[in-house]
Amino acid sequence: MSDGKDYSRRDFFRLAGLAGAGSAALLSPRISTAAEGEDEKAARPDEIPVRPFGKTGVKVSCLSLGGMFDIPSNQLLLRQALKWGVTYWDTADCYEGGNSELGIGQFLKKYPENREKIFLVSKSDRRDPKGMTELLERSLRKMNTNHVDLYFIHGMTGIGEINKETKAWAEKAKAQGKIRFFGFSAHSNMEELMTKAAGLGWIDGIMVTYNYRIMRSDKMREAVEACSKAGIGITAMKTQGGGQVSMESETELQMAGRFVKAGFTDAQAKLKAVWEEPNIASICSQMPNMTILMSNIAAALNRTKLTAEDIRLLDRYAEETATGYCAGCRNICESALAGDVPVGDIMRFLMYHNSYGDVDRARACFAEIPRQVREGLLSVDYTRAEILCPQRLPIAKLIDRAVSVLA
């Protein structure tokens, strides 16, 4: 990304063929005649569709740039993402040790005219008003902006983490023009959090783990519907459905062959499965290089709908490999254990290691678990947690694996 070369839209269509098998078919997207959102029908074939973000009145690109990568060294990627229509950018004060926000600030300092084109999201690890104020002010300074469009409480696990004080803080920050909208992100207990947030009446947006594995469960359908009725914008993350264990499946081979023939890769098909749900405003994806960026954009440009057989194969694959994927219902397993064992977090760190190949990030996250807890992980009896786990995860073996590769 350091050569300074700027790519045109025509260059994208020339280079996208390098993004993966079947990409050539994406260069001339076939417009589906099936019922679609008005924004998606109105979008040009070479234009990423936008979707309404809840009841905010704002429309966002259906693909969002996840900011957990070395942004300072990838300024060209930011410029290309914006040029190609990825206008929703997600970051957090803690990403890349704070360098993610610094990289965005570097970009906005050089291209200040682009600020209003970007739907900019950041997050706070703090829950108390004083802490949120401190982190927000720091984020604004680092990103060279006077406001963020959406501010999240980062990684919530229970609705009790926000209260009347949180609401008052959000209203004040909005009145001061420092944030436009407010909400939270969640890696676990998503359905419960979404349903309860829908009843609060003051949450604008939520980012949750959402993929082909969990999107068709009754609880998730009900949670999405509740948020839709409440006017809450939903952003999907962890959309590839990667698990803690690499599982071989004949269905995976069938899917790969079928999807390539249809003009997209299995990874692109997993994105398309999420976009099939109209109440998902955007997919937040880590796109740390031009290849992944172009591949995901190509998937967004392709209007071809997944067939019933495509969806059936994804469902079958999810079922066959369920024991290798943590669905985020940590309240079930963790409540069955004596002591404070963050099973859900450890499963997520293993996913970073095994599915993402992001070893450094996985180890850094694991190291943040209190030392006393880490040292006692192998002495815990996980039998009851395994019995209660809806996915039937071999939790004890996975914890042993985590200690082995992450410690």
In the chain (407 residues long), the average pLDDT of successive 10-residue segments reads 54 48 36 44 73 98 96 97 96 94 98 98 97 98 98 96 98 98 96 98 98 95 98 97 78 85 91 97 96 95 91 92 90 88 94 88 94 95 95 94 95
Q: State pLDDT tens for residues 311-335.
A: 999 999 999 988 889 999 998 999 9
pLDDT score, position 8: 61
Angle between helix 266-275 and helix 308-320 axes, rounded to 10 deg: 110
pLDDT score, position 176: 98
Contacts of 55 (CB under 8 A, 6+ apart): 204, 231, 232, 233
Count of other CB atoms within 10 angstroms of residue 182: 23
Going from N- to C-terminal start, the domains of the chain cover: 9-311, 326-406
pLDDT score, position 44: 61
Find out whether 255 and 317 touch, Cβ atoms under 8 Å.
yes
pLDDT score, position 42: 55
pLDDT score, position 13: 53
Contacts of 159 (CB under 8 A, 6+ apart): 192, 193, 196, 197
Distance CA 278, CA 37 (A): 7
**pLDDT, mean over the chain:** 89
Q: State pLDDT tens for residues 335-379.
A: 999 778 999 999 999 999 998 888 998 999 999 999 999 999 999
pLDDT score, position 358: 87
Find out whether 48 and 300 touch, Cβ atoms under 8 Å.
yes
Consecutive H or E run containing 133: helix 129-142
Strand partners, 206: 184, 234
pLDDT score, position 30: 32
- Give the ranges where 31-92 is alpha helix by DSSP (H): 38-42, 75-83
pLDDT score, position 23: 39
Torsion angle in degrees (nearest 10) through CA of 337, 343, 345, 350: 170
pLDDT score, position 251: 87
pLDDT score, position 29: 32
- Strand, helix or coil for residue 171: helix
**CA 205 from centroid of its chain's CA atoms:** 13
pLDDT score, position 24: 37
In this structure, the strands spanning 59-61 and 50-52 are antiparallel
Token duo for residue 84: 């190609």
Pick the CATH number of 9-311 from 3.50.50.60, 2.120.10.30, 3.30.530.20, 3.20.20.100: 3.20.20.100
